[in-house]
Amino acid sequence: MIKPPTLTRRSVFRAGAGLAVAATATPVLTASSVRAETARQADAEAMNGDGFYRFKIGDFQATVISDGSGQIPIRPILAMNVSEAELAPVLKANFMQPVIHITNNILVVDTGRERILVDTGFGEKLGPSYGSFPELEANLRRAGIAPESIDLVVTSHGHLDHIGGLVTKSGALAFPKAQFVFVDTEWNYWTGSRYESEVNSSPMPDGFKKGTIGAARDNLPPVANRTRFVKQGGEITAGVHYVAAPGHSPSHATILFTSGNDQFMHMGDIAHNPVTSLQHPDWSPIFDYDPAQAIKSRKAILSRVATDRIMVMGYHFPFPALGHVVRRDAAYHWEAAQWIW
């Protein structure tokens, strides 16, 4: 079971008082004590939910970081194989508009051994031309997480909104002390010779085509000599595994965290929206590389997390994007986790 954070107004005031007392002493600094001190300072300055959201995965401390949001039309972006006549009653039943806000939610997990960040958002090259992106660095710092403290950056797949934040606008590494991890075949595709022509011939919007090609070209070479490649379905580090979910991209993967009796899955882009993806898993986003395979993967992952009652995070779901997938008739329903302030 996911344990809620213990942050309260009282603990915020206590943290402030404790820091004042601690300032008179000479502490012995270790990597873990520096992280704890940074987090305590952040607790005193920002409330849980203010651009970040803390929770527990067993003994792991986890934080969802908002990278911002932007508007998209549901059709065709999230439902390219659906007519307006099919879509309209679904929108009405779910109190949705034809244009919705979509978010990027970045996961940070501190295992006690290393601090892991999953996906990096759009990065500086796109923002602020689209919505409120990018907000990752600002919200990381608000949560007391310095980019320099990230040990491992794990990537679910090679699309712009997941690798765009690997490097800064100047070309420097956004997480300068981190090692980077990719599924080996996903990396090979996005650094190979096929992706540019295939992206250009896809139904993606032209702006996203350009951005996707540019992100692969500009963001992957700078991290190449610090990247470790993992087989699809393989172990990333202790308690963290890739789970194969191809289709959205050639070797798209979700990431499964295990601590004690608790499991948690970062779903990557297996599902983009609680309504379009869960209630209608046959609806295809316009970005899917292989729509038929993506549908198979989506149904397999949704079935697994529903059957095993695994808490999940939806990368593009409304912040903080935490909850459970519940089987309902031939499809699924989203039960958002209760916010703990």
Instruction: Give pTM, 2 decimals.
Output: 0.86
Separation between Cα atoms, residue 178 and residue 20, nearest integer Å: 32
Q: Domains of the chain (ranges plus CATH)?
A: 48-336 (3.60.15.10)
Average pLDDT over all residues of the chain? 89
> For 324, phi and psi rounded to 5 degrees?
-125, 150
Of 241, 35, 227, 223, the C-alpha closest to 143 is 35
Residue 144 has pLDDT above 80, yes or no: yes
Q: Return the pLDDT at 340.
A: 79
Q: What is the pLDDT of residues 321-333, one digit of tens each?
A: 999 999 999 999 9
Of 76, 99, 98, 94, the C-alpha closest to 283 is 76
* Interval 77-100 mean pLDDT: 97
pLDDT confidence of 120, banded at 50, 70, 90?
A: very high
Residues above pLDDT 90, as percent of the chain: 79
Of 265, 283, 267, the C-alpha closest to 275 is 283
pLDDT confidence of 187, banded at 50, 70, 90?
A: very high
* Interval 151-179 mean pLDDT: 96
pLDDT confidence of 131, banded at 50, 70, 90?
A: confident
For 234, the token pair is: 């393989």
User: DSSP characters for 202-222?
Assistant: SSS-HHHHHHHHHHHHHHSGG
Q: What is the pLDDT of residues 277-329, one digit of tens each?
A: 999 999 999 999 999 999 999 999 999 999 999 999 999 999 999 999 999 99
Q: Return the pLDDT at 36.
A: 54
For 202, the token pair is: 């896809």
